[in-house]
Structure 1
């Protein structure tokens, strides 16, 4: 007999579930094995190329091994510490008893005999330690793989012992995360898995790592992951895929606010459901993103007014999902060789590159395109009760026509985003945050560091002192308080205006009635 709590069952189910373990069918699967060794419980599960173990503490000592259907955890998990008793009725049958809101519950399950199951891998004796980012790197690498493993093992992750890197590719994109010292020198292949991104696994602590003849082993807190080494598949030579940095002809530099603006807009642009989800990136006097649906006569164009580029003008066609992924990884620079070569993002130990689409399909500039333009952020430095509130987004017509600058014609619609407000003091005038300088080679602008994604972790500015942080927090609190008070006064004024307007309308209606009565008399 083994006794655990409902809370412990809930913690186990956070990882031991079909979706996390990559089980996509609803058919029969191996059971979860519970091994009680005194006051320690080992919960073990093995499926295809993955084996995982979790250790728990038991309130009462026991020496028993039981098999339990994986889906049974969902029936008796809970948020309290009430007891769950598991007992074998026979070699192939188990009973589970617990209490739910004071009501006793009992379930019986048919299970295979424990001695018929495939043995669990034996952990190694020696371990090395990897930094906390290893699970994040494995998770991002799993998002870069492909199930199409006909020619190459594109459903695998390569653990490169020499350079200490985690690498993955699906034939269209390539990700390399470095900075890891593996206790081996060769390149090992392991299968991708959703397990690496599971929130039930700690992602904020260092991870011991080792290997056996058959498995790469990671120990993450109470969890131990056994990743079966794949020896049959071939893997591409990644060093031949990434272009040399010296071959870069154009470098796009994205402002952090433009990157956020672009990330929010990409999946809303037309053509998102089309094959390859294409968008056109054009750097020719300004930074423009264009998209057009198959059933649309007009293209939609995003102009990133806060961003710039250096080098030769270029127009290329790319998958918007891959462009968006570069933004999500935190990159602010994209190196471009030409319209047919891979685009490359580099930042410290992280490299991401992807192959553009056919350049013949790129959308050319058009005078009748619908134009959506981000505007340079402004920093209001004079904050008082008399300061007028920020204006809403402006929608107007423009009559500019400059083909070199890719501006719209008479019928184009300009939609400018609301300026970013960042109050910093109480005495100076408003000044622009960024300026774009035009030249024959393109545009340059001030670049902000990324604030999210893996690439952002190695490029953060030094933290300010505690006193400065407290002062900044107090200033922000005062600014928000003032803004709330002003908003309240504005709401009151608007309500008064509405009541006044209704009164005027009512009075005018009464006067019209009186005038009609006088005429009738």
Structure 2
């Protein structure tokens, strides 16, 4: 007899369905228990998954259809007992809301032509828990419909610890990891890393036995196959330089959260994605809709801009994603070139929309303002008129021009500045800081003036009300 819990059944069911979506209905799991604990295994095309509970149990081997877990799953750690009742019959018993449940199922037999379950690598390389988040973010930047490039895959570069991904509209490059191999690999598409049931606070171990890459996090071990043939864009050549950016949005952490939580309050455009970012001394997001008579603005009061005034039009989901991923610096080279969000180890690039679609300010705008925050630290976590040839994927090709200006010749890949332009950039940092403080003070002064006007208006209203009450009282006395 094998014992699990209803909550564990729910977790395994969710992860397996997400990892093997095309074969979920026919999936059969192998449950093996013994002194070494409980092992639950499932294998698909070029990928495999294993869950391990190290607590010892009675020695047993069962083949369990996925539908059994669908029946016994629950939100509490109530025990479930699985056993072989008789030849070809699998039994499951548990209690649900105090009522005893006991079901029997046809026990499947292992396929005669089943491939042997993959083995573990000889050694693992341990990474921080950030790797799990990085893999999830990378796969959220892929395009499973792409035919020209292998954009459904992500690239792992063992030589410099890079994870790269793009879907032709956005590009994400993340650094700082160790994989234990030197090759550049393309990993097949998967939704495993998007599973909420994975422990995102545990270290991630990586290994590479033969033709798969193995990821081990907490009780889960995942074998993922590699794409042998496929073209992947040249990521490094495709990331524009930020040295000549026209403006930089300095997004405060409080405003980043406010943006993600409240962006849905702005009206949707014709394609439900247009958003104007207006950096004009203030940081204002603006949107309109044919179905609403007045446009709406979101005023991010804790954020600021460096550089020139600029007004751009962007897909709102990309800006919201940059905010959700914790980027505090978003660079705009001009109104048409891709936007670049960057920090010490990550670079996120996305294509802007037609600058002609950007909305100007109007007096009848509905305004939503983010609340003032005493902390301004970095965040912790219209129709698009263009042809297919203008996508990031095309520009990512080695034979195509880069997305933006080239780096100065004396700038290394690690960002070491030694050119005169870079030295000038360093000397101007104090001026940029002063400009940023000035912008924040101006924003604060504007908010204070608005508050004063509101208070004066309320005082006038109270005086008017008081005079009206006195007049009514006098009329009553006369009567």
Please indicate the TM-score interval, normalised by the length of the shorter structure.
0.7 to 0.9
Taking the aligned partners of 1:265 and 1:10, their CA distance within structure 2 comes to 33
Taking the aligned partners of 2:163 and 2:221, their CA distance within structure 1 comes to 19
Residue 208 of structure 1 and its aligned partner are, at CA, apart by 1.9
Structure exhibiting the larger radius of gyration computed from Cα positions: 1
Residue 98 of structure 1 and its aligned partner are, at CA, apart by 2.2
Taking the aligned partners of 1:220 and 1:437, their CA distance within structure 2 comes to 42
Q: Which residue of 2 aligns with 1:338?
A: 334
Residue 328 of structure 1 and its aligned partner are, at CA, apart by 0.8
Residue 240 of structure 1 and its aligned partner are, at CA, apart by 2.2
Please give the secondary structure, in 1, of the residue aligned with 2:262. helix
Q: Does the CA contact (< 8 Å) of 2:9 and 2:72 recur in 1?
A: no
Give a deviation string over 1:134-183, Cα, whole Å, max 9, x none.
11111111222222221112211211212212222111112222211111
Residue 370 of structure 1 and its aligned partner are, at CA, apart by 2.9
1:6 aligns with 2:4: yes
User: Residue 174 and residue 94 in structure 1: after superposition, are their counterparts in 2 closer, same or farther (change >3 A)?
Assistant: farther
Taking the aligned partners of 1:43 and 1:348, their CA distance within structure 2 comes to 39
Please give the secondary structure, in 2, of the residue aligned with 1:444. helix
Q: Which residue of 2 aligns with 1:96?
A: 91
Q: Which residue of 2 aligns with 1:196?
A: 193
Taking the aligned partners of 1:194 and 1:294, their CA distance within structure 2 comes to 36
Q: Does the CA contact (< 8 Å) of 1:97 and 1:106 recur in 2?
A: yes
Taking the aligned partners of 1:137 and 1:266, their CA distance within structure 2 comes to 24
Which consecutive residues of structure 2, in runs of 5 or more, have no partner in the other structure? 376-431, 442-472
Q: 1:138-153, aligned counterparts within 5 Å?
A: 138-153=135-150
Q: 2:211 aligns with which of 186, 210, 214?
A: 214
Q: Does the CA contact (< 8 Å) of 1:310 and 1:443 recur in 2?
A: no
Q: 1:98-137, aligned counterparts within 5 Å?
A: 98-100=93-95, 101=98, 103=100, 105-137=102-134
Q: Does the CA contact (< 8 Å) of 1:208 and 1:219 recur in 2?
A: yes
Please give the secondary structure, in 2, of the residue aligned with 1:259. helix
Q: Does the CA contact (< 8 Å) of 1:17 and 1:70 recur in 2?
A: no
Q: Which residue of 2 aligns with 1:16?
A: 13
Please give the secondary structure, in 2, of the residue aligned with 1:212. coil
Q: Which residue of 2 aligns with 1:296?
A: 292
Q: 1:19-98, aligned counterparts within 5 Å?
A: 20-24=17-21, 28-36=25-33, 38-57=35-54, 59-62=56-59, 65-77=61-73, 79=76, 82=79, 84-87=81-84, 89-90=86-87, 93-98=88-93
Q: Number of aligned pairs?
A: 387
Q: Does the CA contact (< 8 Å) of 2:138 and 2:163 recur in 1?
A: yes
User: Residue 4 and residue 292 in structure 1: after superposition, are their counterparts in 2 closer, same or farther (change >3 A)?
Assistant: same
Structure 2 length normalisation: TM-score? 0.72
Give a deviation string over 1:360-417, Cα, whole Å, max 9, x none.
21112333333344465579xxxxxxxxxxxxxxxxxxxxxxxxxxxxxxxxxxxxxx
Taking the aligned partners of 1:326 and 1:260, their CA distance within structure 2 comes to 11
User: Residue 38 and residue 286 in structure 1: after superposition, are their counterparts in 2 closer, same or farther (change >3 A)?
Assistant: closer
Does 1 or 2 have the higher relative contact order (CA < 8 Å, sep 6+)?
A: 2
Taking the aligned partners of 1:123 and 1:437, their CA distance within structure 2 comes to 52
Which consecutive residues of structure 1, in runs of 5 or more, have no partner in the other structure? 380-435, 447-507
Give a deviation string over 1:270-297, Cα, whole Å, max 9, x none.
116x426111111223222110112334
